[in-house]
Amino acid sequence: MIWWPTEIPTLQHGLITLRPLHESDIPHIYEALQDPLIPKFTTIPSGYTIAHAEQFVREKAPISFIEKKEITFAITFDDAFAGVTSLHSINLSDHASEVGFWMTSHLRGKGICTTAAKLISEYGFMTMGFQRIEGIVDVENAPSRAVFLSAGYELEGIMRKKVTRNDGRQVDMALYSKIAD
């Protein structure tokens, strides 16, 4: 059985913290999502506006949490906003979830995302009771694929033409998973 928290906790390892989203994150989210690399590899739309960021922080994330569909964290490094991670695509009856993340461009390559993936996965397994957590990533996104491997996930296979991008392209996705010990 999955235990669902009454509020989003704060998780920490060294200088890296996962915490609930704050109103003050809105301009940081907007700024970070101007990077064309993030929409290229995620479901976040290009042309991301401040209104999108406001809706995400004020409505989407809180409602998804209340409805037990997603638990979203801001990632900070030394108290500076670094990105977002979440457990989503939650299947309570199967004790399964998917982890996703994105990082601000200036903090990539420092191991922050790997630590964040480990923290959220540990929380998902040890506290919430998930038995399986997946990571699904565009096969061309080598840095995110490396994050999953560094965080202890195993490559299960390639899902051909799994996702349709906004421009109509069908892209292959790599499926990673981590199983509860």
Q: Is pLDDT above 80 for 95?
A: yes
Q: Is pLDDT above 80 for 166?
A: no
42 located within any domain: yes
169 located within any domain: no
Residue 181 DSSP symbol: -
15 located within any domain: yes
35 located within any domain: yes
170 located within any domain: no
Domain count, the chain: 1
Cα separation, 139 vs 125, whole angstroms: 26
Which domain covers residue 34, as residue numbers?
Answer: 11-134
Q: Is pLDDT above 90 for 138?
A: yes
70 located within any domain: yes
Full-model pTM: 0.96
CATH number, domain of 126, equals 3.40.630.30
**Whole-number Cα distances in Å, 32 to 22, 47, 55, 138:** 15, 12, 16, 20
Alpha helices in the chain (DSSP H): 26-32, 37-41, 50-55, 61-66, 112-122, 142-150
147 located within any domain: no
The arithmetic mean of pLDDT across residues 49-65, rounded, is 98
Residue type, 14: G
Mean pLDDT estimate for the chain: 96
